[in-house]
Amino acid sequence: MLIHVINPNTSAAMTAGIGRAAERVAAPGTRIVAVNPADGPISIESHFDEAVAAVGVCEEILRGEAAGADAYVIACFGDPGLAAARELTKAPVLGIAQAAFQVAAMLATRFSVVTTLQRTVVIAEHLLAAYGYAHQCQRVRAAEIPVLELEDGAACSGILLAEARRARDEDGAGAIVLGCGGMADYAGTMGEALGIPVIDGVTAAVKLAEALVGLGLHTSKHGDYALPPAKPFAGRFQHLTRSA
């Protein structure tokens, strides 16, 4: 089984870390290929960043199709380009936010999200509502750590743990969802310290992708996830032109 894990930002260091996290949980026989677009934002911390990054996500899906990928994981907590990516392939495509919410809901009746910056809180809240988990999420908390600073584990681990502890004690959360693909390395130690499940969306999405492929299930091509209509694209997007 070949799973392409797409980091939608252009940080090669973050892509490598995400790839290592995915490989740690991958089943024998599953091959992980971690990639990121060549063009786009170095980190994703706004609606604008997400809009630009979504094009790169779609380009990586098309490359994965040529390579014969069996499933895809979009490893940014805003799930940028998720619906568009699902249009482009029959293979399962999982966003790490949707995957993490689903896993948290199976493990606890109430959970909280610990994310990066305050300005991204509303993005997570919109996803919770869209995916149907707003009633189970107690609160989305911002640790006020820029995405790229997550690579400094010594500086960030204590901040994330303190915020997650407040979520457990003040929100009554039975599980914590980590709200950034760059937080993947923190889940294990935080779970041990807190005594409750701490869910990283990257690893959750990889295991769900394996399950969907193992079940022989695929993205529906009936309705709005059907292949996009063939049409010409102009200018710098000309390479995305699809013929009938």
User: What average pLDDT values come out for the chain (244 residues) when binned by 10 residues?
Assistant: 98 97 98 98 97 98 98 98 98 98 98 97 98 98 96 92 98 98 95 98 98 98 96 95 81
CA distance 136 to 138: 6
57 and 128 belong to one structural domain? no
In the prediction, which pLDDT does 3 show? 98
Residue with tokens 């709200």: 179
CATH of the domain at 43: 3.40.50.12500
133 and 148 belong to one structural domain? yes
In the prediction, which pLDDT does 151 show? 87
| pTM beyond 0.85 | yes
120 and 76 belong to one structural domain? no
50 and 36 belong to one structural domain? yes
45 and 76 belong to one structural domain? yes
101 and 193 belong to one structural domain? yes
Range of the domain at 35: 2-95+204-240
CA distance 69 to 59: 14
Residue with tokens 């997007």: 237
In the prediction, which pLDDT does 243 show? 77
In the prediction, which pLDDT does 161 show? 97
In the prediction, which pLDDT does 220 show? 98
- Asked if 14 and 37 count as a contact pair (C-beta separation under 8 A), the reply is no
CA distance 230 to 222: 16
